[in-house]
Amino acid sequence: MTLTTETSRPGEKKELTAISQVKIGMSYQEVKAVMGESLVVGYEQKGSPTDSFEPIKMSQPVRVERVTQQNKIYFVVYYYTKVVKADQLISDDELTPLVFESTQPSSGLMGQDKVIGMGMDYVFRIKH
């Protein structure tokens, strides 16, 4: 599920993130190009009511976690993709994790690391 907003056509929704375009086998560099480095989560009015609005942005991904399991290193990259409750907090159920297998275990997440899975079920699988 992704963040959506109503469009000009009744009942039609437009994705606010491109998570549906992320596919297994994509490199971290490709995912970053698709997902971007920030997400507009609202707008703030500057000055008087006739002044313009400026976007409120949050960095993407929200967090990155390193997991070591059976001599393999994985990176779980969490993207903010949906609003469950509009409470100005980000909860785990509002994030979509992408799992990358490290191609160079001695370093951090690299551009050539590939998506091998996504979703909380896949994260659970690599952790247990």
Residue 33 in tokens? 């190009």
Domain annotation covers residue 2: no
pLDDT digits (tens, 9 = 90+) for 95-111: 999 999 987 767 778 87
Domain annotation covers residue 12: no
Contact 3, 21 (CB under 8 A): no
pLDDT digits (tens, 9 = 90+) for 69-125: 888 899 999 999 987 777 777 888 889 999 999 877 677 788 789 999 999 999 999
Domain annotation covers residue 57: yes
Q: How many Cβ atoms are within 10 Å of 17's Cβ, its own excluded? A: 20
Domain annotation covers residue 23: yes
Q: Give the predicted TM-score (pTM) of the model.
A: 0.80
- Cβ within 8 Å of residue 68, ≥6 positions away: 74
Domain annotation covers residue 106: yes
Domain containing residue 120: 17-127
Domain count, the chain: 1
